[in-house]
């Protein structure tokens, strides 16, 4: 008979994180291209384009750096045992959920 395991370990999917990080950097580079192209325009719409491009560069730049960190992270994603669940999914660190 099988005895129930006392713990369950779930690891990060490095291939999925790599694909998402590649997509993030693709959007990041597109935002840079849009920002560069918007400098030849002087209308109100170009200012909105510049602001949204800068916001996209900042947001997707942070997401891309976080994705690169997670690709090389060797910690477990989720660890379940009798005392609770330890999750390592966010940027804020490891949390124990009882």
As a whole number of angstroms, the longest Cα–Cα distance in the chain is: 75
Which structural domain range is residue 57 located in?
8-97
Cα 40 from chain centre: 32
pLDDT in tens, 1-15: 455 567 777 788 889
17 lies in a domain?
yes
The whole-model pTM stands at: 0.74
2 lies in a domain?
no
50 lies in a domain?
yes
In the chain, how many domains are there?
1
42 lies in a domain?
yes
3 lies in a domain?
no
Helix locations, 1-98, DSSP H = 14-37, 44-71
Query: According to the model, what pLDDT value does residue 93 have?
Result: 65
């Amino acid at each position: 008979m099988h005895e129930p395991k006392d713990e369950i370990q779930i690891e990060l999917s490095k291939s999925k994180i790599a694909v998402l990080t590649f997509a993030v950097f693709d959007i990041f580079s597109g935002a840079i291209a849009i920002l560069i192209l918007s400098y030849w325009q002087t209308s109100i719409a170009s200012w909105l384009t510049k602001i949204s491009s800068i916001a996209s560069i900042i947001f997707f730049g942070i997401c891309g750096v976080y994705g690169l960190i997670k690709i090389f992270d060797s910690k477990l994603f989720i660890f379940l045992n009798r005392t609770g669940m330890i999750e390592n999914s966010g940027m804020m660190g490891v949390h124990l959920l009882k």
